[in-house]
Chain A
Amino acid sequence: MNGTQFWSLAVSAIFVQNLVLIYFLWDGSFYKAIKKPKTGLLFGILVTAATTLSSVLCWLLNRFVLRQFSLEFLAPFAFVLVITLLETAAYAAIKAISPKYKDEILKILPASAFGCAVLGLVLINVQANTRGFFGTAFYGLCAGIGYLAAIFLVMSALERVRFSAPPPVFKGLPIALVTAGIISLGLMGFSGIVIPY
């Protein structure tokens, strides 16, 4: 793969196929993360690490085990198992290394690893099946960056919306969804962009 192909993958992962705003891969943890900037940043970084590593491992599993032995029907369980093992290893590593924000990281680690984004991205990669090993890893990294960007976009927008006093029936989830929809409308402008290589 050349530089332009990686650039094309980056634009695709961050904007055209954004995990949150195009694929809807958000959940309760995302909603809680966008309430505090520090938690949001930490959560986004953990999701980026999870998406990158799980993309790589699940690509290998799919290529050399599932497709080799015609076990594609076991894909959901196999990928969940890989993600679980990854999270367990990360938990042990963080406890051993003991970084600065160890307690905060350990609190949100399960939510970031076991969310829709990681499993969803792995399934998207398997469906696409055209990127190769390095392409998949890079796509996973960029998809995580896109997730982080979406957290801050939605968080900033919701902060402004809260001050504008929406009608009572819209407070909370409804206005969050409408806001995300309007931001997603902007990203839809990127659809159809093809970077020639």
Chain B
Amino acid sequence: MSNHTYPRRLLDDAIDRAVHDLAQRDPRPGFRRRVLAQLNAAPPRMSWVQKVLVPAAAMAAVLILGVWLRPSPAPTQMVSTPAAVPQAPQRPPVTVPPEEAKSPPRPVREAARRIEHKREPGVQFTFGPPSQRVVATSVSNALRAPRAIDAVPTQQIADDPPAALPLIRVAPIEGPAEITLKPIEIRPIAIAPQTR
């Protein structure tokens, strides 16, 4: 292999020259014209307003369409099928045992069912005597809680033959029962003066 020795600076100059040769080139003539030709052929630039408003309007249209075309919720269907569960006779809804009512029980709408009602012992009525509607708390006397969704009057249970187990039917939900609250009466408490 031939040996070439150069002055220190010459080798650096040779490297510089090679790098400049490789790196210091110019584009072919007409570069600006070529670029502008491409820009003229390209689609027009959208302003930022168009870039923001057009997609936003499209999204809003999709959302509005989705809300408008959304199907209304269907009423809940009964779970039991006629073939599997034999039909039981319809029982009128009675939710309050007669011994507890301080006033005669009001007629209850057929559709209004009391859902499972469990009474805790030892808790007082807060909003007056029970009406045939939603009660806030439990009762003063313990009661046997009806287990079925459709509450059955005590007398009727006694009359019915005990052979078959009560059928559980899921009644359609008609909506929440109307809530009425008795106004609270605040009576001043008379405090007798203390004597020493």
A and B associate: no
CB within 8 Å of A: which residues of B? Answer: none
